[in-house]
Amino acid sequence: MATSSDPKIVIIGCGISGIAAAHRLVKAGYGHVRILEATARSGGRIKTATLGNTITEIGAAYIHGPSEENPVFSLARDYGLLPPEALTPENQALDVDEDPPWVPNWFSSSGKQLSAESMEPAMDMFQEILNSTSQFRNRKDTSWTSVGHFIRTKAERQAAGRWKNKNETTRKLLLSGLSTMLKVECCGSATHSMDDLDLAGFSMYKGLRGVDCTFPRGFEGLIDKLMSELPSDLVTYNCPVRCVHWNNTEHGSSAVTVECENGEKIPADHVILTVPLGYLKKQHSTLFSPPLPAHKLKSIETVGFGTCDKIFVEFETPWWDDDCEVIYLAWEDEESLSDHVSDVSKSWIRKLVSFTVLKPNESGSHVLCSWICGHEAEYMETLPEEEVRHSITELVRTFTGDSTITPKRILCTRWFTDPWTYGSYSHPAIGCTAKDLKNMMEPLPSKGTLPQPLQVLFAGEATHPCFYSTVHGALLTGWREADRLITHYWDSDSS
């Protein structure tokens, strides 16, 4: 329902969150909605590319929990963007907690392929311990200092008991497998180490039912469909914002003025800010005038935001099994459970311990997606592509024992050095609580402090209390803030 006042609403950022907010407002009849986007494209951290003839996701790759509870799944289904297997009731009903039942291949640093069955005890134990972190939800009295501390301690104790009758070689391999899974889990949280995650905070995350699925033609297809339903002139591209001047007190002026880098000053009644938390951490001191309230700043600093990069690698022929869906690498010379390296510049490649197998297309290309996170990913971003390719080549040759394997080409993501993101997605860092996530989404000014409320609203994945780090979390927060404004005007008109 459009109101007689028809407020001027500026949305900063044209990622899925900003697009979702605009969608909601335009459908409700609001006519003065404008999106300002710093780059030349829509989508934000949803970005699809190609390596050769294979579609690759530079950003978001999966619908996590593709079921009716997930709005991204519902939209993608309605737009006809999903593969048939993702639409089956069976796929939607499975509760795998973002741990798809993929067929694994395991390789060891001695150049041998290991049987998947022999490594199952390590995978099962790790998953069991990870699942048990849910017992710490809302608990502050834990003696564990972090998620990493809890997992390592539990794993070492259980391994000593369960595997005491196994021979030394088998025990070492299984312990190596635990380290591999620990590193893989770091990528899931975009953190340098699981030691950086708060144990109580970690269990705030809520998974959805359904086996994770991808978009056969690319995640950007969803952005294209959503954008096609918005007015073509709604977005101004290549328009970075310099400062949001809120709490304007000059007589007759709008509540907010958005100052752009090009000098344009846009008066607005409301601004919905959807920039990534990494950008907010770096730029908040100049992005707001007056500065943000102290409690909001503290939460912006406390909530974590890290880097998870991908390196796509194309091969002439596959060196993995026909039915393989994920490849794990076990470093046999790592004596203790560890999820990071001591010397990043010399050993960054050791953090890269998993590849997902991209489905081959009709061209017959064979592409793997390798995952790397934390300081090792940040360091990788500083290297020339040829050096990364050389390191990947040596890694694969070491683990397969085949000195002839040579990648055709690679493609690296670089989210840490992207000046509009400074990383990939958020996580509950040490000390992070539900209160911090609540502070993240709190509009300015604080309720009841001024006659003109809801001047600056906050959306994006890092502002969702239990779906942070996900696309559906980002989308829901865009809807949430649009609905907040719609409700505000509905109530105002009613009174």
Distance CA 399, CA 333 (A): 13
pLDDT given at position 2: 45
- Name the β-bridge partners of 54: 51
Element holding 445 (H helix, E strand): none
User: Which amino acid, one-letter code, is at 149?
Assistant: H
Radius of gyration of the CA atoms of the chain, in A: 24
- 311 contacts 411 by C-beta, under 8 angstroms: yes
Cis amide bond preceding 445, omega within 30: yes
Q: CA–CA distance from 390 to each of 136, 164, 345, 455 (Å)?
A: 43, 39, 15, 51
Distance CA 439, CA 414 (A): 29
The residue behind tokens 């794993």 is 155
Q: CA–CA distance from 367 to each of 86, 212, 228, 355 (Å)?
A: 22, 19, 31, 10
Distance CA 78, CA 158 (A): 46
Show the CA angle centred on residue 284, arms to residues 282 and 289, nearest 5°: 155
Cis amide bond preceding 290, omega within 30: yes
What domains sit in the chain, N to C, each tagged with a CATH number? 9-44+218-303+427-494 (3.50.50.60), 99-206+308-412 (3.90.660.10)
Helix (DSSP H) and strand (DSSP E) numbers for the chain: 15, 20
Q: CA–CA distance from 493 to each of 4, 29, 125, 489 (Å)?
A: 9, 15, 58, 6
Q: CA–CA distance from 398 to each of 232, 368, 392, 401 (Å)?
A: 52, 17, 10, 5
pLDDT given at position 363: 65
Show the CA angle centred on residue 427, arms to residues 425 and 430, nearest 5°: 145
Strands (E), 290-374: 304-306, 308-315, 326-330, 354-357, 366-373
pLDDT given at position 491: 74
Distance CA 27, CA 483 (A): 11
Distance CA 166, CA 160 (A): 10
Q: Tens place of pLDDT for every residue, the chain, 495 residues?
A: 445 468 999 999 999 999 999 999 999 999 999 999 999 999 999 999 999 889 999 999 999 999 999 999 999 999 999 999 999 998 898 887 656 788 999 999 999 999 999 999 999 999 999 999 988 876 766 788 899 999 999 999 999 999 988 898 999 999 999 999 999 999 999 999 999 999 999 999 999 999 999 999 999 999 999 999 999 999 999 999 999 999 876 645 789 999 999 999 999 999 999 999 999 999 999 999 999 999 999 999 999 999 999 999 999 999 999 999 999 999 999 878 889 888 999 999 999 999 999 986 656 789 999 999 999 999 999 999 999 999 999 999 999 999 999 999 999 999 999 999 999 999 999 999 999 999 999 999 976 555 678 999 999 999 999 999 999 999 999 999 999 999 999 876 665
User: Which amino acid, one-letter code, is at 328?
Assistant: Y
Show the CA angle centred on residue 289, arms to residues 16 and 488, nearest 5°: 55
Residue 176's closest CA among 391, 372, 350?
350
- 72 contacts 63 by C-beta, under 8 angstroms: yes
Distance CA 471, CA 278 (A): 16
Distance CA 472, CA 476 (A): 6
User: Which amino acid, one-letter code, is at 184?
Assistant: V
pLDDT given at position 448: 58
Q: How many CB atoms within 10 Å of residue 254?
A: 18
pTM for the model stands at: 0.94
Q: Is 256 helix (H, G, I), strand (E, B) or coil?
A: strand
Residues in contact with 16: Cβ distance below 8 Å, sequence separation at least 6, in sequence order: 43, 44, 46, 222, 223, 226, 471, 474, 475, 478
pLDDT given at position 6: 87
How many CA atoms lie less than 13 Å away from 489 in the CB half-sphere?
Answer: 20
Show the CA angle centred on residue 35, arms to residues 32 and 39, nearest 5°: 160
CA-based end-to-end distance of the chain? 15
- 311 contacts 352 by C-beta, under 8 angstroms: yes
Distance CA 433, CA 455 (A): 25
Distance CA 418, CA 279 (A): 10
Residue 66's closest CA among 395, 486, 472?
472
The residue behind tokens 């997606």 is 369
For residue 15, with 0-12 CB atoms within 10 Å meaning exposed, 13-18 middle and 19 or more buried, which class applies?
buried
